[in-house]
Amino acid sequence: MRADIANLKYVFEPKSIAIVGASDNPEKLGNVILKNLVDGGYEGGIYPVNPKYPELLGKKCYADLKSISGKVDLAIFAIPAPLVPDVAEECGKKGVKAIVVLSAGFGESGNVELEEKLKSVVLKYGIALIGPNCLGVMNPESRVDSIFFPFYKFGRPGVGDISIITQSGAVGSCIADLAAYYKVGFAKFVSYGNGATINEVDLLEYLGADAKTKQIMLYLEGTKDGKGLLSALKKVNPKKPIIVLKAGKGIVAGAAAMSHTGNLAGNYTAYQAAFRQSKAIEVDSVVELFYVANMFSQVRPTGNRVGIITDGGGLGVLTADAVEKEGLDVAKMSDIGRQRLREMLPARIPIANPLDVIADSGVDIYEKAINAMIEDENVDSIVVIILFQAPAVDSRIVDVLVRASDKKKKPILVVGVGGEYTRQNRKTLDSYGIPTYGSPETAIRALKKFTEYSLFLKDKK
């Protein structure tokens, strides 16, 4: 293993961090990063570096790296691009194991020579380099955070088991902000920008071996190592699901990707072939990337038969349409299952799938219906549609769904269509690991991806 790859652990779990280019100006990246580390509760050593200041945010500020008497594991660069290679050289001499270079102005803007100079320095010293031209890294567990967005503008996800690798800081930050809103936790976040030395292939393999990571989201514009990417996908995906969003599919978008991170987007057909060969889960939008990843909090289905429970008949019909459109099956409940439901439910409720428990049914009816479908051998997954606006539905529905999900017998997902009250209840359910969706179509698309991956693993056994 290359020395710089081995040193990736210091990117995510450093015991000390230097902020090169720290500032007292709230509009400067160096100020935001320093403040976020201090306010975010990072417990390791924090060393602001800037010759202009004797102190910043209560921390002694150093003129340069060599002035720091203590050991520095990670250095975060928020300085002009032309200065970066020389400061990276200082890091090498200081024994710094990893650097995150936020600065732009390298290969993506045509300055290939400067990027090559930086590469030669970090490879000489075995320094793990993230960037340049990136948003950097976040590890909620260790409170490492190089994201230069203030807390009040950008929510930080809590600790979880999803890791994200993204070429684009903007796309990655949108996903992370969405995850924070719905209280979905992250294991690692890395925006690697140009990927001068450490790229998506290296990061896939690193996170594939990371015990804290259970699934990986990948936003990819282009790659410089197609064979390596395919190999990493094939190696990691059977162990941990990789959900990938490929951008730069068209000619114009491909050119934009080249100017964004300096990576050639290439022929989209070749990427599609790689995803198919590796069984990586390809999605078509940022929102779908998040929604599919969230589905993996559930136990995996053993088949493609879907049970539908609703207190709004029309939404049940729309869900059944979506199930058939996506190539899944609307489950035909077993005779035993139908009998069980008939004995438990009021006579006014027809026993069918979709099962319409009617809008004036309360939480108790939902619980009986869900438990019956859990026990039905002809049902592999359960979609629960809830009109949170209905007067008979109250907060007890959360407890019912959590208890059912905790049985770990079948995946359960929730569809809730509505405004603020509905979104707040969805947020609560997501925080308990129950994936929720704002429309039947979105839910079923995510369920299809989840089911296909689950059956792929089943067939490999």
pLDDT in tens, 27-46: 999 999 999 999 999 999 99
pLDDT band per the 50, 70, 90 thresholds, residue 248: confident
For 1-137, CATH number?
3.40.50.720
What are the residues facing 248 on neighbouring strands?
Answer: none
On the question of a common fold for 1-137 and 155-296, the answer reads yes
Q: Give the model's pLDDT for residue 253.
A: 41
What 3-state class would DSSP assign to 234? helix
Write the pLDDT tens digit of every residue in 174-193: 889 988 988 889 999 999 99
212 pLDDT more than 80 = yes
Element (H, E) at 160: strand 159-166
Distance, CA of 270 to CA of 166 (rounded, Å) = 20
Residue (of 97, 147, 153, 159) closest to 122 by Cα position:
97
Q: How many Cα atoms within 13 Å fall on the side-chain side of residue 224?
A: 15
pLDDT of 265 over the 70 cut: no
Mean pLDDT of 427-432: 92
Q: CATH: 3.40.50.261, 3.40.50.2300, 3.40.50.300, 3.90.226.10. Which one for 305-460?
A: 3.40.50.261
The domain ranges of the chain are: 1-137, 155-296, 305-460
Residue 259, pLDDT score: 45
Q: Is the pLDDT of residue 362 over 90?
A: no
Q: What is the mean pLDDT of the chain?
A: 92
| Strand 215-220 versus strand 242-246 pairing type | parallel
How many CA within 13 A on the CB side of residue 242? 32
In the predicted structure, residue 361 carries a pLDDT above the cut 80? no
What pLDDT score does 155 carry? Answer: 87
pLDDT per residue as tens digits for the range 67-97: 999 999 999 999 999 999 999 999 999 999 9
Question: What was the pLDDT predicted at 205?
Answer: 97
Asked if the model's pLDDT at residue 17 lies above 60, the reply is yes
| 418 token code pair | 């509505």
pLDDT of residue 390: 83
Q: Give the CA distances from residue 450 to residues 141, 267, 290, 294, 445, in Å, rounded to whole numbers and listed in that order.
A: 27, 27, 13, 10, 9
What pLDDT, on a 0 to 100 scale, did the predictor assign at position 154? 87
pLDDT(258) > 50: no
Q: What's the CA angle centered on 204, arms 202 and 208, to 5 degrees?
A: 120
- pLDDT at site 252: 42
Categorize the per-residue pLDDT at 347 as very low, low, confident or very high, splitting at 50, 70 and 90: confident
**Phi/psi class of residue 412: alpha, beta or left (left: φ > 0; alpha: ψ in -120 to 50)?**
beta
- Confidence category of residue 348, pLDDT binned at 50, 70, 90: confident
pLDDT attached to residue 266: 61
Where does the pLDDT of residue 461 fall: very low under 50, low under 70, confident under 90, or very high at 90 and above?
low
| Contact in structure between 306 and 345 (CB atoms under 8 Å) | no
Q: Strands, DSSP E only, in 199-348?
A: 215-220, 242-246, 281-283, 305-310, 329-330
| CATH tag, 155-296 | 3.40.50.261
